[in-house]
Chain A
Amino acid sequence: MRHMAVAAALMLSTATSALAAEPVKIGVLLTLSGPPAVLGEHARDGVLLAQKALAGKMGDRDIEVVVVDDEGKPDIAAQKARDLVEAQGADFVIGPIFSNIMNAIAAPVTSGGAILVSPNAGPSNFAGKDCNPDIFVASYQNDQMPRVLAQHMNDQGIKTAYVLAPNYQAGKDSLNGFKSLYKSEVAGELYVPLGQLDFSAELAQIAAAQPEAVYAFMPGGMGVNLVKQWDQAGLSSIPLMSAFTVDETTLPAEQDAALGKLTGSNWAPDLDVPGNAEFVAAYKEAYSRVPSLYAMGGYDAVMLIESAVKKAGTEDREALRAALKAADFSSLRGEFSFSSNNFPVQDFYLTKAVKDADGSYRTSVVEKVFTAAADGYVAECPMK
């Protein structure tokens, strides 16, 4: 399918070769230093792999990718976003990883005349009142992952759940997302200080409460610590279900301690969608690690942009927005479309950590939980 399109574009390009010289500029703004750098690296590698898969071309135009590091600092990110858009003339910015950075770069990118495509962050304000015709979130809305696990617990008839998250905005959002769908009693709620190393106190509290299950949102190194300490504290009989805690970025460190642990996601390496197996194989080949949903997000963001640029070019802003909104690309997630707020409508899955024969760890689809799910903020968005 794509080959035909490329061939058609090539034919077109001979006709309009005078205009063809101008490349499509994509700024990639991700967190590439500090503790969470690995998430940014996955997304960056996903972008670069997509560029390679497109043979460096969108239609007849070259793709020019500029990767910058936001250092995890919002003010630096805002500055770099302006640099990308104003000084370097980026048409698109792919980024960021974290919600707080999204709040800082949204205005500089869109008011500078570029279009922001998020490969990961999906804060609720941009789904609701701050929705913007030039912001496309190609990943998910932050509340959706915890809702997968809440639904699963409802289905399993789990009557008492304990919830656990770091005390910052994304943590609160995550627990609220969970509680908005979970029907039974929340046995207890623990917020831990951001960056906490040792969970022995929380684990003792959970052991004393003996809930039927625990929902946790514990990204990055904190998640690794939680998972490693879970079984050690003798909690193996209580199922730990989490979001952004067990994935391909943390599994290399969690290893066997994470096996069988359940998590919610919009994608997994073994998701049965055309092109996905090839993507996973190519990513492993190029970067010697298993791709995560961050890598998938980066890859899909580029493919979304390609589908729109091919159709509408970058000059006519209204046409470009419409072409992006059509989401006429083959996502690694399968069925994919945008709601009126430019957030995705897609399926969500319950996944679990498994170990492959080659000794690598990954997540694997257990079952589909939501079909064609939109986020809960669409109604608040004035865009139609």
Chain B
Amino acid sequence: MTYMTQTLTEPRAGLAARLKLALAIFALLAVVPPLAHAMGEPFMIIIATRMMVFAIAALSLDLILGHGAMVSFGHAAYLGFGSYAVAILSRAGISDLVLQMVAAVLASALFALVTGAISLRTRGVYFIMITLAFGQMAYFFFVSFSALGGDDGVALAARSTVLGLPLLQGETGLFYVTLGLLIAAFAGLYLLTRSRFGRVLTGTRESALRMQAIGFRPLPYQLTAYVISAAICGVAGVLLANQAVYVSPAYMSWHRSGEMIVMLVLGGVGSLTGAMTGALVTVALEEGLARFSEHWRLGFGLILVLVALLSPGGLSGLLRKFNLLRDDK
């Protein structure tokens, strides 16, 4: 059973076009704060920050789901680990962003290592459901965690500091830190998927048997990817906590995991640019449509159904259809 809709190897030129698209998106994002101030709509910065936080999460999910065909239905758990790393450390008096990120990465990676090793015994739908199971266990653990407000969550006293500086207190500061981390995550994952490691991972997606035949055991590669993905998502969780200045188990419910998959599929699975675009578009759509009507979900649902019906491969597929990602040669 393959989860891929696209051809096995991406054409080189299409790849270059996508990279250009990604760079264009970064450039556009970089001018959001001055533009928002000029337009007298500083609130746009807050929305754009949230869009980028979910873009990082979607990128992390694409590594395992898109390149490794491991559909994790419990990925929101790592958003939660990241957020709670902020809450727990700041309560203990450690408000430094870097230390919080290290803690978030370690906690996420450890949980992913243990649950990934168990989950990777299974394939396909069974993998989806066993990751859901672990995600739900983490969710219910934090719901029962009275010391941190349980289900009520916990409000943070202030945003994290960066090397002692209150860099994130303003929305613009948080925006650029998030943008920087988004670009770093994109670049890191881009290089990773181009590397030998990435090619082996993609190979296991296409045929685990074939990879075994040429001498690769898929499991270490899959597990490593799973752990890396979780760690990056943990970083997104740190940013989410800072953006909302509040931490709650609601960040890790299965609805969120499902929404992350939807973002990814909407953008186009297996392409980092697609994953990022999917997240940006989803959050922007939710924000935008909600302003029009109380019944915005009707419109949003219809859009999802139409994209699924008309365009295999999500929005990237749609762009390709209209020749916007055509061969450059």
Contact = CB atoms under 8 A, between A and B. Distances in A.
Interface of A: 32-33, 67-69, 72-75, 78-79, 82-83, 86-87, 99-100, 103-104, 106-108, 123, 167-170, 172, 193-194
Given A75-B246, A86-B43, A103-B149, A168 B154 contact: no
A103 B153 contact: yes
Q: Which 4 A-B pairs have CB atoms at the shortest separation, nearest pair first?
A: A87-B43, A168-B151, A169-B152, A169-B150
A269 B215 CA distance: 76
B149 A75 contact: no
7 contacts: A74-B248, A75-B243, A86-B46, A100-B149, A107-B245, A169-B150, A170-B151
A75 B250 contact: yes
B297 interface: yes
A106 B297 CA distance: 27
A135 B50 CA distance: 26
B294 A69 contact: yes
Contacts of B41: 87
Contacts of B248: 74-75, 100, 103-104
Interface in B145-175: 146, 149-155
Main secondary structure of the interface of A (DSSP, over half): helix
A100 B46 contact: no
Contacts of A33: 297
Contact of B290 (A69, A78, A99, A169): A69
Given A32-B294, A75-B250, A79-B47, 6 more contacts: A69-B290, A79-B46, A79-B244, A99-B152, A103-B153, A169-B146
A167 B144 CA distance: 7
Contact of B151 (A82, A87, A104, A169): A169
A167 B143 CA distance: 8
B249 to A, nearest CB: 9
A100 to B, nearest CB: 4
A215 B136 CA distance: 29
Which of A72, A74, A78, A83 lies at the interface centre, i.e. has the most chain B CB atoms within 10 A of its CB? A74
A168 B150 contact: yes
Interface string B260-294: 00000000000000000000000000000010001
Contacts of B290: 68-69
A67 B42 CA distance: 21
Contacts of A86: 42-43, 46
A169 B144 CA distance: 8
A79 B294 contact: no
Given A86-B43, A169-B146, A75 B151 contact: no
Nearest to B140: A193
A79 B146 CA distance: 25
